Structure 1
């Protein structure tokens, strides 16, 4: 590919700087390049280095040839280009020559080598004109017909008509999409001998490039992925090559379903008991049209991580997946088929979605369906290493873990058995950290655990440092989540700028199990004992200094999270038989634990968006959804595969479940309500009240049918004290709590039913992060405000362009959606606030997380918390952090009666790339978002750093 350019200074012709991959050179194994004439050649990464060097020589002259700077810059750029290419191409392992040149151009621009990039762009444009002229003049003969390689290796003519038909079918019923650009772009990336998988991938990627221009292309991309999945699954279960269109599946799904069950049983993946269902009846109940409701991110996530597979082949189609989960949950029902169909209808409609462990494992040979496990670690080696072993066993089948480490004696404490001194809790936390990494849940997601420590523990300051990147690495846990378990007395000492005393739990054992006024009395007695010389290991600190360090570490490392011991216990329905010693991995579970009892919670979430009608919240539909969902969650407890006896005993005795919600921001936007408004706080209140009412009512109905849970007597429930009533208990223990206590529904009647009939479940509600299941349903996660209105989400399935479709709809209605608007959204990192031509009402409705004062999030969370018997995963966002702002924010959360908080998120240092898809000639998505926040100086009095990255693919909460 010869080329010359002119040095800007001398005007003399210089060496070529194009990328020519035809020369003989070492190749990169497995990667290939499609040339412009359709030929496929091995990919040679060294040519990128050569081309970049020539580019710098062309602009900077021959003096650059021996420059160490140029050499280092070129090596770095080449590495960036290759990394970008291999990340974007995914499983296809195939580049188009233009893709390579696009990435070289982008790398030069990102590196701010503007003169070199400009010369490179001008050269490409000139060569494109030359090729066009040459083609017109030479009247080149048409390329030979392309052939497709079947799985058995035979070459068959490309069926262009089917390609066009599948793309047209994928576009049917969707506004503002067209098959033509997808087919054109897909054909441009075909070559003779292309495989069936690569052929499917070509059309999928072609559709994906258009998502940022029109959100409906995400549905097109999903439907094209469905075509690939249908071929893969149908061929595998039937034993012959088979393809089917969406229209074909109206008849094919029912006949496929029994074959699917048999295939899964033969592969020892599906419980043989499922074969005893009336498979014909269940197959007839499948609704193939619901395959059209997936967005690309949701279906790709299911394809990569959820659908059953064997021998490298997925054989589970989406509706079979939902029915398999439903059958697993109905396996002990009397009319199993009727209940399975009821559960299937709820799941496949996206009105409700079970948690990831339930989706992974329901109906399989190892049905570990529970989401979260909470344990207390004892203060001896046997107990400590049993706790680590339990972590491994619980994590193996996708359980998230919360460990209470407070009982373990502190650094310097006496050890009777050896007459030595303890090394404290930190070395054991390192072991727990490494265990979580070793047990990666079958490759489906990383093992994840959160360690909790009370604020009075003598090792608390070392605990705060666990996630730092400096210091002795043997006393660091880079992968484990950590959280502070904060008593009210500490917050009162912070408020009064008082002293705080740290103790070792072997000398102060009562503190671990006490809260409220009893904790205060015991703590003050131990302070007096320490002052009189009665304790060996203790240390006094200024409470405000420790609080500031807690917030400093929270900002610098994203940990430890701030959770509040007293409201978790005072408002717990189960305070009569135990103590809540920690929360879970995501801070929404508040259940009792002890050395003999491992708490278990079973989660699922209502899709709030699906319950918004023209008249607002559809209470009748919500009641039906919650009633069925609670039955499903209660079934989990009996069906569940328990890996340790302590979990089984606890779960069967107390039967806690955690019904949550997702799509809160979508619901607000559909109702035309700004998140930062009194109306949004009121909607949070009313919607959670309705969910709470129906969840408690459903548990009463289950108790009438199946019996109340074993430890009901003595609980708050048995006394007629519902979550809304327990606010008074917190106010009595801590005067000054600022919680609203208003209600609208008939709670008196429900109280009477609870006291008379009892509850089936000790706990009924908890709001989890829902990151993955909200992706499946195509809604915003949990109660979160939108991160950006246009961004690229990264998770274990790759990078996905996410566009706020409701915003696009509103902008179209006002004639504002065009290429300039797309460019502006990228420039302002998905924010509408700084785009002048967007009206103020839309700016308010579509304000992003960092544009909303987190005080609004806390206000809304406080309104929800009054109805919830457990807690909620509440992330807080702060665009321009300062020590004062964080202090005010977390004190406000405590005063508003919140039980827990979750991640603190700060705005990232790098943002969405400013390039557009058009600017990269329509190749793979050119928009990317790096959200790992860089260190940010807050004030001269404190050294602050970074918070947890939003949508970090390595973060369990984002999976």
Structure 2
């Protein structure tokens, strides 16, 4: 380090000029530099060149040969840095000294001068610590007296002791964090007359900047946000200015809770029935210490979108939120308080989390708690526009929609009423697309819908083009998701390189309801009829050409997704009462639909990592969680507010629920199992087997207590055919299916019990994406591999720095966690694979999604699918896509018996800019005020669209309807 100190990497004003090779002048008198002490000096590019030269020579030596080589490198780097700075210059044509040094650091990394970059980063950090110590020493002797502006506008002295106490309390019990840097950074942004809100934000902002260095600061930031929330909520509920520390909440929560319910009822936000609970008993059951389990992203998400608020103020605290949801789900229970406490315990522990609509609306005056709705659109104007109207009503209260559009006749088909020709399905899809955008759930999130079309529909090629950015915009749906509903016969024609015939459903209506062998026979008969001239609208294509176009559009536009009709129907427990015509918005729900029935599903997810102990999967805890979770989900059916009668009729008749999981990647890492391994596939199998076993058993228990669902007789359940048994039905219908059928639990006893006692629910399991609720719990999404180990996560609450805490712990244990490692993770987009000093075992354990062969994802999904009576939202990742790779991947998914797939994620050809995030991790909604006094002396915030490592569509807020 001393050699670098001697190199004086300070870009200070007393250095002599150096001649630059570029035509750009050595000095730029029109630009100014804001130095750390607030003074402004002219910008001189030659000082950058001098500092770089000294840095290189200090690292590489000062021989003549080295000096000549360094001169050329420095000239190139200086040009890049100056160009980058002048592009970024603000309206006042100024740079901060830290911004210049950030650009130097970035240029060194981009140029792969890693030794110099490492030394430069470490020296900057050393100097920053020295300056901080100097500043603190001065501040102790010269700190000015600051005043806070009270709510009534009157000034009051800043309570330094409370400020320090809040920061200390936020750090209590956490390793590797300290209140000192938080207070130091916060004080730098205080000014005389600051408001209480701004004071709270200053602390939160200060802690957030440290998350990339130490993940535990995510908990610190959350606790500082809690302090702000407590002041807001307690003041509103009590009607008097009130603040409380976390320690004070151990007694305050119980007295606050009844007042919270009363205020919510008076504001017409909480169901008055909740006021009839024993609120003192429930308040005493709250566990304030569980507020400390939140990470910042989770709590901020709740603050922005979930907590009840009125007149612009939140009045719901986290434990009251979980109890409100639990009470809403316990309304019809005999001992409501006991069940509410049981449900609260499960939610607040993060062992299980209900889906977003349930969290939004449980216990409110409009309890629309269901996640997913599936509809079939009829082939006449009344039916089409009724379907679009139903979409609007269902989306209004947070439902995600899947529409089956296959019955609508195709382009050129005859219209008897007008003796004209149909314009096909596409114009109506455009109307449905615009309706979804218009109905945005009161601004909480955009309406979200997915349109499904079977592959034999004559409009299928236009359907494939719906998401393209070129062509007639009147025949494009830029916001609607789309999915192919693919019969096995089409895949068999693809494999045989055969012909495929497209039909209009008004002439081949029964194909819509047929599956398997019956579909093949009818389809071949229609082909013969068309060849004989008996069908007016049809077209022959090469099946392989259509398949290639499907994959091409999937790669280019992300749509339509690939889903498989026959596995969804042949393995459906409810095939005796109808047909599965589509999946839902996120491709995990497979329920029957018709013109008379709109399918509804109620979702929730088990936090798998919470059920991992030192001995592996904790079966006793998992059984308890599943049993309570299934009861909660079943209660949703009866409590739910239904916006259309078809949805109510269907849900009460069949009572389907979808129990899923999240935190799968975290569980693997806790078990020290790499995702791309046979052990991970085996864990996917065994963990899903356990969930399936207990979910089916819990539904049978509920049937014994409450009665079986009304359409049970004739179902696969009634015949003793459980999900794992239905694999043989698929293999009989389609020889060549490659699905494992092994098991480890006592399925025979359960099989007999189900036949005897029955089931409370027609369907029990579905794995949703969990984008939002996994944020709340602070775990990895659903069954997803890690997208990146350090990145900026974007959702409707803003942009958040996220670090893989388990990786950081492992790197610390091996002495590898430092500023250079943070810099390397940024540079390599959160990937550890290309960082040489990370050991191979950690590279395998922490491999990110694009470093894993997607075949491992399909293999694990196939093992899970054997236990699930519905489906799973399965994203596929491919780093270097090609037509051949996509073809092999999706054929493999079909052969492995998957019912559906979801997004195809491919890595972009270019990477977003990699830069330091010191001082910022993007924007926020609730925490968005700028709490700095001019001139700005801290690091310059990077614009959101320039943030490094930003996860794009994987965290798209529009894709959260199922979570």
TM-score scaled to structure 1, two decimals?
Answer: 0.87
Q: Distance in 1 between matches of 2:613 and 2:548?
A: 46
Please, which moves more after superposition, 211-220 or 820-829? 820-829
Inter-partner Cα distance in structure 1 for 2:309 and 2:615:
43
Cross-structure match for 2:298: 298
Could you tell me whether the CA contact under 8 Å between 1:793 and 1:929 is conserved in 2?
Answer: no
Note closer, same or farther for the CA distance 1:709–1:239 as it changes in structure 2 (3 Å cut): same
Give the stretch that moved more between structures: 695-704 or 913-922.
913-922
Please give the alpha-carbon distance, in whole angstroms, between the structure 2 residues aligned to 1:175 and 1:863: 38
Distance 1:861 1:930 in 2: 35
Which residue pairs with 2:482 in the alignment? 482
Counterparts of residues 237-256 of structure 1 (less than 5 Å): 237-256=237-256
How far does residue 201 in structure 1 lie from its aligned partner after superposition?
Answer: 0.8
1:540 alignment counterpart: 540
Structure-2 change in CA distance of 1:296 and 1:113 (3 Å): closer
1:446 matched to 2:446: yes
Taking the aligned partners of 1:199 and 1:399, their CA distance within structure 2 comes to 38
Equivalent residue pairs, number: 891
Partner of 1:949: 953
Question: What's 2:929 paired with?
Answer: none
Corresponding position of 1:406: 406
Give the whole-Å Cα distance in 2 for the aligned partners of 1:403 and 1:494. Answer: 26
Displacement after TM superposition at 1:143 (Å): 5.7
Counterpart in the other structure of 1:336: 336
For the residues of structure 2 that align with 1:840 and 1:919, how far apart are their CA atoms? Answer: 32
Indicate the residue corresponding to 1:17 in structure 2.
31
Task: Provide, for residues 912-931 of structure 1, a one-character-per-residue CA deviation record: whole Å limited to 9, x for no partner.
Answer: 65333459997587697879
Matching residue of 2:733: 733
Partner of 2:691: 691
Q: 1:107 to 1:429 in 2, by over 3 A?
A: farther
Structure 1 pair 930–538 and aligned structure 2 pair: CA distance change class (3 A): farther
Correspondence for 1:914: 914
Render the CA deviation track for 1:354-406: whole Å, top value 9, x for unaligned: 00000000000000000000000000110000000000000000000000000
2:904 aligned residue: 904
1:724 maps onto 2:724 in alignment: yes
> Where do residues 301-312 of structure 1 align in structure 2 (5 Å cutoff)?
301-312=301-312
| Change beyond 3 A, Cα 1:635–1:140 | closer
Q: Name the CA distance, whole Å, in 2 between partners of 1:317 and 1:195.
A: 22
Change (3 A) 1:406 1:274: same
Give the C-alpha shift of residue 522 in structure 1: 0.4
Alignment of 1:195-214 (within 5 A): 195-214=195-214
Distance 2:907 2:110 in 1: 27
Residue 145 and residue 715 in structure 1: after superposition, are their counterparts in 2 closer, same or farther (change >3 A)?
Answer: same
Q: Which residue in the other structure is 1:63 paired with?
A: none
1:386-465 to structure 2, matched below 5 A, reads 386-465=386-465
Higher mean C-alpha deviation, range 768-777 or range 3-12? 3-12
Question: d(CA) in 1 for partners of 2:387 and 2:86?
Answer: 48
Please state whether the residue corresponding to 2:761 is helix, strand or coil. Answer: coil
Map of 2:261 onto structure 1: 261
> Is residue 801 from structure 1 mapped to residue 815 from structure 2 by the alignment?
no
Where do 1:162-177 residues align within 5 Å?
162-177=162-177
Instruction: Find out whether 1:159 has 2:159 as its counterpart.
Output: yes
Task: Kindly provide the CA deviation profile for residues 320-345 of structure 1, in whole angstroms up to 9, marking residues without a partner as x.
Answer: 00000000000110000000000000
Give the C-alpha shift of residue 504 in structure 1. 0.3
- Structure 1, unmatched stretches of 5+, are 22-33, 38-46, 61-69, 83-96, 116-120, 935-946
Residue 419 (structure 1) shift: 0.7
Distance 1:624 1:645 in 2: 34
CA contact (8 A) 1:931 1:950 kept: no
Farther-moved stretch of structure 1 (286-295 vs 198-207) = 198-207
Structure 2 vs 1, CA of residues 194 and 3 (structure 1 numbering), >3 Å: closer, same or farther?
farther
Residue 17 of structure 1 aligns to a residue in which SS? strand
Tell me, yes or no, if the aligned pair for 1:909 and 1:931 is still in contact at 8 Å.
no
Tell me the CA shift for residue 932 of structure 1.
12
Cα distance in 2 for residues equivalent to 1:812 and 1:110: 25
Instruction: Tell me if structure 2 keeps the 8 A contact 1:468–1:557.
Output: yes
Query: Aligned partners of 1:336 and 1:266: how far apart in 2?
Result: 22
Cα pair distance change 1:827/1:80, threshold 3 Å:
farther
Q: What residue in structure 1 maps to residue 828 of structure 2?
A: 828
Partner of 2:317: 317
Q: 1:180-224 CA distances to partner (integer Å, 9 max, x unpaired)?
A: 011100100111111111111111111111111111111001101
Q: For residue 288 of structure 2, what is the aligned residue in structure 1?
A: 288
CA 1:140/1:392 → structure 2, altered by over 3 Å: closer, same or farther? Answer: closer
Distance 2:233 2:97 in 1: 37
Determine the C-alpha separation between the residues in 1 that align with 2:961 and 2:840: 33
Quote the Cα distance in structure 2 between the aligned partners of 1:472 and 1:792.
36
In structure 2, C-alpha distance between the alignment counterparts of 1:111 and 1:837, rounded to whole Å:
21
The one-character-per-residue Cα deviations of 1:714-737 (angstroms, maximum 9, x if unpaired) are 000000000000001000000010
Displacement of 1:909: 4.0
**Separation in 1 of the partners of 2:167 and 2:712?**
57
Residues 173 and 109 (structure 1 numbering): CA distance in 2 closer, same or farther, change over 3 Å? Answer: closer
Counterparts of 1:757-906 in structure 2, within 5 Å, are 757-906=757-906
Query: Is the Cα–Cα contact under 8 Å of residues 792 and 927 in structure 1 kept in the other structure?
Result: no
Residue 384 of structure 1: aligned partner: 384
| Offset, 1:139 | 12
Whole-Å Cα distance in 2 between the matches of residues 11 and 683 of structure 1?
A: 63
Residue 582 of structure 1 aligns to a residue whose secondary structure is coil
How many angstroms does 1:314 deviate by? 0.6
Q: Is the 8 A contact 1:370 1:603 kept in 2?
A: yes
**CA RMSD across the alignment:** 3.6
Pair 1:243–1:36, CA change in 2 (3 A): farther
Partner residue in 1 for 2:69? none
Task: Please identify, of 914-923 and 503-512, the stretch whose mean Cα deviation from structure 2 is larger.
Answer: 914-923
Match of 2:63 in 1: none
Deviation of the 1:816 alpha carbon: 1.5
Q: Distance in 1 between matches of 2:197 and 2:459?
A: 55
- State whether residues 108 and 114 of structure 1, in contact with CA within 8 Å, keep that contact through their aligned partners in structure 2: no
Quick check: 1:588–1:768 contact (8 Å CA) kept in 2? Answer: yes
Q: Which has the bigger relative contact order, CA under 8 A and spacing at least 6?
A: 2
> What is the deviation of 1:828?
1.4
Name 1:193's counterpart in structure 2: 193
